[in-house]
Amino acid sequence: MDSWWIYAIGLLAQAFFSARILIQWILSERARRVVSPAAFWIFSLAGSWLLFLYGWLRDDFSIILGQSVSYFIYLWNLQMKGAWRSGVMRYGVLPVLLLTPIVVFCAIGHNAAEFFATFLRNEEVPMWLLLFGSCGQLIFTLRFVYQWYVSVRLKESVMPAGFWAMSLLGSGMIVLYGIIRLDPVLILGQSVGFVAYIRNLIIGHREKRTK
């Protein structure tokens, strides 16, 4: 059985993710349009770093997979928001954030055989469930790839309707995966966002109609 402190790390990560959704939702309601605040990306980055650690400690490949791409997209959006212009952020925090995943992936590469034996042959997670969970995480990750693609085209950080639709689908799959695995972190963390995802789709639809 996993130690309580491992679950504490996962719950803290999900707390950051839940907070980012609530902040974005509240600000969007106030603005009466879907917004992309810097706080959303800061909380995303903190939660991603912690959830990556949680997945590592739980020997859960699908969780790690879900954090691999979005981490750098969070950094890119913060750069678009001008978050790295101050000296402290640029020369202090940013190098640490950039080096952390590089160090982790180097460690994985050094022990690749052991890594795959541990994560992909985890007796507690059948292959079909691993593939299902990984698919949910992939969709949840690709929503940020889509967000990044649209933002690059528009040359500003935005959160399009497709982002929220993919959030609903991916989140639903991850919750089901968490129920099967009896993982309270995934169940609680992903369930919080459902209302906000739907609400952002409604706000975005109304915004289009008024244009």
Tell me the percentage of the chain whose pLDDT exceeds 70: 80
| Total number of domains constituting the chain | 1
Q: Which of 23, 68, 71, 79 is nearest to 47 (CA)?
A: 71
- Position 57 scores a pLDDT of 76
Contact in structure between 75 and 96 (CB atoms under 8 Å): no
Give the orientation angle of helix 61-68 with respect to helix 70-80, to 10 degrees. Answer: 30
What is the predicted pLDDT for the residue at 150? 96
Which amino acid, 78? Answer: L
Q: Please say whether the dihedral angle defined by the alpha carbons of residues 120, 121, 127 and 132, taken in this order, is positive or negative.
A: negative
Q: Tell me the average pLDDT across 15-32.
A: 92
- Domain of residue 137: give its range: 4-210
Q: What is the pLDDT of residues 46-71, one digit of tens each?
A: 998 888 788 777 766 656 666 777 88
Within 13 A of 33's CA, how many CA atoms are on the CB side? 12
Confidence of residue 107 (pLDDT cuts 50, 70, 90): low
